Chain A
Amino acid sequence: MARMKFLCDAERCIECNGCVTACKNENEVPWGISRRRVVTIADGVIGKEKSLSVACMHCSDAPCMAVCPVDCFYRTDEGVVLHDKDVCIGCGYCSYACPFGAPQFPQEGAFGMRGKMDKCTFCAGGPEEDGSQAEFEKYGRNRLAEGKLPLCAEMCSTKALLAGDAAEVANIFRERVVRRGGSGADTSGWNTAYGKGSMDADMKAAETGGAK
C-alpha cells in the first residue's frame, strides 16, 4: 500500500497561491478556513526568500491524534490522517499541538466558540461513504477514492508541490536535487512529520510496504 505524502520544493514555489485557491474551490471550504497556505520566509531578502505551501503533513506520529480528548482522528491504509467531525468537540487541542497550523476552526456562536475542526484531508474525504454528498459537505471532495491525487498538487503551475506515494515523490525530488547539485537535506517539514532521517527511512518504509 502506498504511503501518501506532500512535498513542497522551495526552489520552485513562486508563491502564486494557486494551490490555496484550488483547495478552497475543489473542497468548497467554509469561509474563514484555509486548509492550505503559502508561507514565505525571509520575505524580500534577496537570495534568501523561500516560499512553501503548507497544509496537514499527515504525520506518522501525528500530534493532533495524540492529544485529541475524544480520539476523533484515524489514519487510512494510505497513511492519510483524517478525522470524524461527528465526534470532534471543537476543543482546539489539535491546533495547539500541530507544528504546521493545519487544524482550523470556524467560529460558531459568541465569545470565540469553536465549531468542528477542519483540515486538509489529502482530498480523501472522511468516514462517510466514499463520494457521498454527506462526505462532500463535511470534508470536501474524495479524489483519492476516484484514483486522483490532491488538486493543490495537480494544479501547481511549477510542480513545486508534489503529492502522492512517498517513493514516487522522493524519487522525483531526488532527481531534481541531483540535477541541481545540492545535498537534498531541504525537504522542509519531513523530519517533523515523519521523524529523523525521513527520506531514507520513508523510502525503506515505502519499499517494505508500510507506514508505522
Chain B
Amino acid sequence: MTRPFIPCLRSAAAALLATLAITAVPAVAADAPPANVAAEAIGAGLVQPGNNADAFRDARRGQDQSITFAAPADRVLIQSEGEAWRQMRNGPITEYGGWALVVVFLGLVVFYAIRGEIKLEDKRTGKLMERFKFIERLAHWSLASTFVILALTGICMLFGKHLLLPLIGHTAFGYLAWAAKNVHNFIGPLFFISVVLMVVLFLRDNVWQAIDALWIRKAGGLLSGEHVPSHRFNFGEKTWFWLGVVFLGLMVGGTGLILDFPLFGQTRQDMQLAHMLHSGGAMLFVALSLAHIYIGTIGMEGALDGMKTGYVDETWAREHHEYWYREARGERIPDNAPRPGHKPSTVH
C-alpha cells in the first residue's frame, strides 16, 4: 500500500527534526549544569519514567497525534466529539424535537376547535383564476410527497426505538427501520432537487413588500377573522417560504446529501455536525409543516383548490389576496397604496 504524500512528508520532516535534536542535545548539556536540565524537564512534565499521562491527555485533546493511517477517521486515538454528538442527539434533538411535534399538533387541534375552518364570506362566483402553473404545482407536489416520506422515515429513525420497537420487537422493527433508512437515503436527493426547483420558481413573488407590514400588525387576521390584503403571497406564506423552503429546506437537504454520500473524505466530526443540523432542522421543519398542511387543507375553505387544480375561485382570490386579485384584473397597485377597505374599491 502506498502511503499518502503528505503524511510521508510529515514523517520525513519529523525524522529531520529528530536528527537535529540528537545533534543539538550534547551541546546544550555541556553548557548547562545537569541539575538545571533535570529541573526544567520535570517542570515541562517530561521526566517521570513510565508516566504517559501527559501524552494521553494531549491525545484526548486531539493534540500531538501524528498518526499514520490512510483513513482520516482513524487519525485520532480517542474521538471525544462523539460524546457531544451523542448528548445532542439523544438529548435536545430527540426531546425538544418530539415535544415540538406534539405541541404544534395539539395547538392546531385547539385552533381548529376554536376557529374552525376559515370559510369564504361571499358566495363563490364560479369564475376561476389561475393561481399556480403546472410546473409550480409539479414542484410543490414533488416537494410535498418527498417531504412526507422523508418525515415519516426520519421520525421512525429518531423515535421508533422508543415508540415502535417495544410494540413490534427487534426483528420486525429492524426490517422496518432498514427499509426506512434506504427509502430515506434514496428519496433524499429528489427532495433536494425539488427544494431547488421550488426556490427558483417561487422566489420572485415571495420578496417582501410594503403591505406585509399590515399583515404582521394584524397577525394575518387569523384570530380576528379580518381579511388582510396581500399580493400573490401574504406574509405568512412568505415566512414559510423563506424559513421553511429556503432556509430549512436547503439546510436539511444539503446536510442530508453530506450524510447520504460519505464518499468525499468526510470525517466523523463532519458527519456529526451535519447530522445535528440535519435532524434538528428537520424536526423544526416537520413541526412547522403541520401548520402549513393544516391551513392548506382543512383549515381554510378553497385553499387546496389552487394547488390541486391550479385555479381558485375569484371570491377566494379577492378575500385572501386582494392586491393579487386586483392586479390580475388589470389594476395597478402602487407600492405605498393606502390601506383599502375590505371590499375591492377603485383606486384611480
Q: Are A50 and B55 in contact (CB under 8 A)?
A: yes
- CB-CB under 8 A from A47, the residues of chain B are 46
Q: Are B86 and A88 in contact (CB under 8 A)?
A: no
Residue in B52, B64, B157 whose CB lies within 8 Å of A188 = B52
Q: Are B268 and A96 in contact (CB under 8 A)?
A: yes
In the bound assembly, the distance between CA atoms of A185 and B157 in angstroms comes to 40
CB-CB under 8 A for A48 and B22, given A71-B170, A87-B170, A96-B271: no
- CB-CB under 8 A from A87, the residues of chain B are 170-171, 173-174
Residue in A43, A185, A186 whose CB lies within 8 Å of B68 = A43
- CB-CB under 8 A from B173, the residues of chain A are 70, 87
Smallest CB-CB separation from B75: which chain A residue? A39
CB-CB under 8 A for A97 and B85, given A10-B52, A90-B181: yes
Q: Are B260 and A111 in contact (CB under 8 A)?
A: yes
Residue in B49, B73, B158, B178 whose CB lies within 8 Å of A101 = B73
Smallest CB-CB separation from A95: which chain B residue? B268
Q: A84 within 8 Å of B by Cβ?
A: yes
Q: A89 within 8 Å of B by Cβ?
A: yes
Q: Are A99 and B50 in contact (CB under 8 A)?
A: no
Q: How far is the CB of B91 from chain A (nearest CB, A)?
A: 11
In the bound assembly, the distance between CA atoms of A186 and B52 in angstroms comes to 5
In the bound assembly, the distance between CA atoms of A92 and B262 in angstroms comes to 10
Within 8 A of B (CB), among A14-50: 37, 39-48, 50
Q: B148 within 8 Å of A by Cβ?
A: no
Q: How far is the CB of A90 from chain B (nearest CB, A)?
A: 7
SS of A interface (majority): loop
Residue in A46, A52, A101, A181 whose CB lies within 8 Å of B21 = A46
Smallest CB-CB separation from A46: which chain B residue? B18
In the bound assembly, the distance between CA atoms of A111 and B74 in angstroms comes to 21
Stretch at the interface among A61-69, A152-160, A162-170, A198-206: A61-69
Residue in A40, A70, A97, A192 whose CB lies within 8 Å of B78 = A192
Q: B125 within 8 Å of A by Cβ?
A: no
Residue in A44, A88, A89, A183 whose CB lies within 8 Å of B18 = A44
Q: Are B52 and A50 in contact (CB under 8 A)?
A: yes
Counting chain B CB atoms within 10 Å of each CB, the highest count among A70, A182, A189 belongs to A70
Q: Are B261 and A111 in contact (CB under 8 A)?
A: yes
Q: B65 within 8 Å of A by Cβ?
A: yes
Q: Are A183 and B48 in contact (CB under 8 A)?
A: yes
Residue in A96, A112, A182, A188 whose CB lies within 8 Å of B56 = A188
With an 8 Å Cβ cutoff, the count of chain A residues facing the other chain is 53
Smallest CB-CB separation from B14: which chain A residue? A44
Q: How far is the CB of A36 from chain B (nearest CB, A)?
A: 11
Q: B145 within 8 Å of A by Cβ?
A: no
CB-CB under 8 A for A67 and B89, given A95-B268, A96-B268: yes
Within 8 A of A (CB), among B37-55: 46, 48-53, 55
Smallest CB-CB separation from B266: which chain A residue? A112
With an 8 Å Cβ cutoff, the count of chain B residues facing the other chain is 59
Q: How far is the CB of B61 from chain A (nearest CB, A)?
A: 12
In the bound assembly, the distance between CA atoms of A41 and B52 in angstroms comes to 11
Q: Are B53 and A183 in contact (CB under 8 A)?
A: yes
Q: A11 within 8 Å of B by Cβ?
A: yes
Q: Are B157 and A69 in contact (CB under 8 A)?
A: yes
In the bound assembly, the distance between CA atoms of A90 and B178 in angstroms comes to 8
Q: B309 within 8 Å of A by Cβ?
A: no
In the bound assembly, the distance between CA atoms of A108 and B152 in angstroms comes to 25
Smallest CB-CB separation from A57: which chain B residue? B78
- CB-CB under 8 A from B171, the residues of chain A are 86-87
Residue in B55, B83, B177 whose CB lies within 8 Å of A42 = B55
In the bound assembly, the distance between CA atoms of A50 and B57 in angstroms comes to 13
Q: How far is the CB of B5 from chain A (nearest CB, A)?
A: 16
Q: Are B90 and A98 in contact (CB under 8 A)?
A: no
Q: Are A111 and B56 in contact (CB under 8 A)?
A: no
Which residues of B pack against A, CB within 8 Å?
A: 11, 14-15, 17-18, 21-22, 46, 48-53, 55-56, 58-60, 64-69, 73-74, 76-80, 82-83, 85-86, 89-90, 157-158, 160-161, 165, 170-171, 173-174, 177-178, 181, 185, 260-263, 268, 271-272, 275
A/B interface sample: 30 pairs, CB < 8 A: A10-B55, A39-B67, A39-B77, A41-B66, A41-B67, A41-B77, A42-B55, A42-B66, A43-B14, A43-B68, A44-B18, A45-B66, A47-B46, A67-B86, A70-B174, A71-B170, A90-B181, A91-B157, A92-B271, A97-B83, A98-B82, A99-B78, A99-B80, A99-B83, A100-B79, A101-B74, A185-B53, A186-B50, A186-B56, A192-B78
Which residues of A pack against B, CB within 8 Å?
A: 10-11, 37, 39-48, 50, 52, 54, 63, 66-72, 84, 86-93, 95-101, 111-113, 177, 180-183, 185-186, 188-189, 192
* Extra 13 A-B pairs, beta carbons < 8 Å, given A39-B69, A89-B177, A101-B79: A11-B52, A40-B68, A41-B77, A42-B64, A45-B66, A46-B18, A72-B174, A84-B170, A90-B181, A97-B83, A98-B79, A183-B53, A188-B78
Shortest Cβ-Cβ A-B pairs, 7 listed = A182-B50, A87-B174, A180-B50, A186-B52, A44-B14, A89-B178, A182-B51
